[in-house]
Homo-oligomer: A and B are copies of this chain.
Amino acid sequence: MGFKVGLLGLGTVGTGTVEILQNREGRNSLLQEIEIYRVGVRSLNKQRLVSLPSEIMTTDLEAIVTDPEIDIVVEVMGGLEPARSLMLKAIAHGKHIVTANKAAIARYGDEIFTAAEKAGVYVLLEAAVGGGIPVIQPLKQSLGVNRIHSITGIVNGTTNYILTRMQTEGGEFADILADAQQLGYAEADPTADVDGFDAADKIAILASLAFGGRIKLQDVSCEGIRQVSAVDIAYAEKLGFAIKLLAVAKRPETASNEALDPEMLQVSVQPTLVPLIHPLASVGGVYNAILVEGEPIGQVMFFGPGAGSGPTASAVVSDILNIAAVLKTAGTTHQLHPLLSCSHQHYCRIAPISEVVTRFYARFLTKDRPGVIGNLGTCFGNHNVSLESVVQAGFFGELAEIVVVTQDVRTGNVRQALNEIRTLEAVESIPSILQVL
């Protein structure tokens, strides 16, 4: 046996990882050199879906990360602590790390990668974004020769499942969320998913890889899907769009906003109207997809299962295998593989959300009388917001429902215009404001 793995956690992903490592036939032959050496769990008595020798099971996770025999620590326990401390201790003991923990990496990537760099070990995290979809490694190894312009992802399966069902069934968010919870597609506490925090963790990680700098999570503008209603989905479809929760990291479009530093990044998560002919529009259900745009490659998209035991375990084990392969190649040298290690140490500067230039969709409830559309148009014009279309779309009780789509405009300008519109006597409310891709 060549490489000894210490596994932290035997939940969904850990179980899937063991299943692959215990059933090697028909898979890459390098798996034969990987040994599950110790497995750390919370309780030794729990019924398990995989059978492991009892002598390798332990509740002493510290003993795993400090065990001199172990080469690679696989952290699939999730959560912030003790995952962070265990990873740091493992690194300090010269272990390579494979992790699926997007939350910990998005928050503590800074200290984890700095420690790894110092210790000369790898921290691989293919499973942290997009479940089984190979996207981290392609970003590091295949796409790095490009100048990346943008990454646009559907990276949260729960919200995509809810939005897809809202679209096909015409149902409301709250009802479909409740059903999704019953079916196991959403957690009992759905906040991390439906409020966009999980997607924010993931886009912070992707942006960091694609743009070669670290990202402070608090700089990621984040909005979930609670405000998306069946009415918006129906109007969007009529206008030729699907509504998706998009996680986006991109260089600003300097042409339309020359004052903005081209080195600044825009990183955000928000429900967005996606043209039906766009490759991301047809990504349905729990599937994830990540679209990368760069020069000279143009557009490439990675599509697949964004979660689940098997797919996520596929990503975890591929990372284990990649570390094993590099270690075999390196022999006794201690030079880290420059495309697999993380060497950047500066932080990306993030443009304030008010500077982001994009199109917007907004829905207004107004009194039903002449001149209202004119009033709206004037307010937008006052703040330099050009409109693509203004449609009185229907009625909501006594009120008229007006749907506006803007041209590419500065977000700050739109916000100012909307603030002015809210003061108009004829305007009852602005139930939704969504970005348009």
Contact = CB atoms under 8 A, between A and B. Distances in A.
Contacts of A146: 27, 314
Nearest to A263: B26
A326 interface: yes
Interface stretch (A78-86, A133-141, A374-382, A427-435): A133-141
Give the size category of A's interface with B.
Answer: 35 or more
Contacts of A153: none
B145 A126 contact: no
Interface in A129-154: 132-134, 137-138, 141-147
B318 A143 contact: yes
A30 interface: yes
A5 interface: no
Contacts of A132: 296-298, 300
Interface in A320-360: 321-322, 325-326, 328-333, 335-340
B329 A144 contact: no
B311 A296 contact: yes
Most chain-B CB neighbours within 10 Å: which of A31, A296, A331? A296
Contacts of A182: none
Interface in A196-229: none
A56 interface: no
A299 interface: yes
Majority SS at the chain A contact face:
mixed
Interface stretch (A69-77, A301-309, A399-407): A301-309
Contact of A137 (B142, B296, B329, B335): B142
A163 interface: no
A27 B147 contact: yes
A242 interface: no
Nearest to A300: B304
B298 A305 contact: yes
Contacts of A145: 20, 27-28, 31, 314, 317-318, 321
A14 interface: no
Nearest to A315: B142
B297 A325 contact: no
A126 B142 contact: yes
A298 B311 contact: yes
Given A137-B142, A144-B321, A331-B331, A28 B298 contact: no
Contacts of A331: 330-331, 333, 335
A338 to B, nearest CB: 5
B298 A301 contact: no
Nearest to A337: B329
A296 B309 contact: yes
Interface of A: 16, 19-20, 26-28, 30-31, 126, 132-134, 137-138, 141-147, 279, 282, 294-305, 308-311, 313-315, 317-318, 321-322, 325-326, 328-333, 335-340
20 contacts: A27-B145, A28-B145, A30-B144, A30-B338, A132-B297, A134-B300, A137-B138, A137-B141, A138-B142, A141-B321, A294-B314, A296-B310, A298-B308, A298-B310, A299-B304, A301-B302, A301-B303, A302-B303, A321-B339, A331-B335
Given A294-B314, A295-B310, A298-B308, 4 more contacts: A28-B144, A329-B338, A330-B333, A332-B333
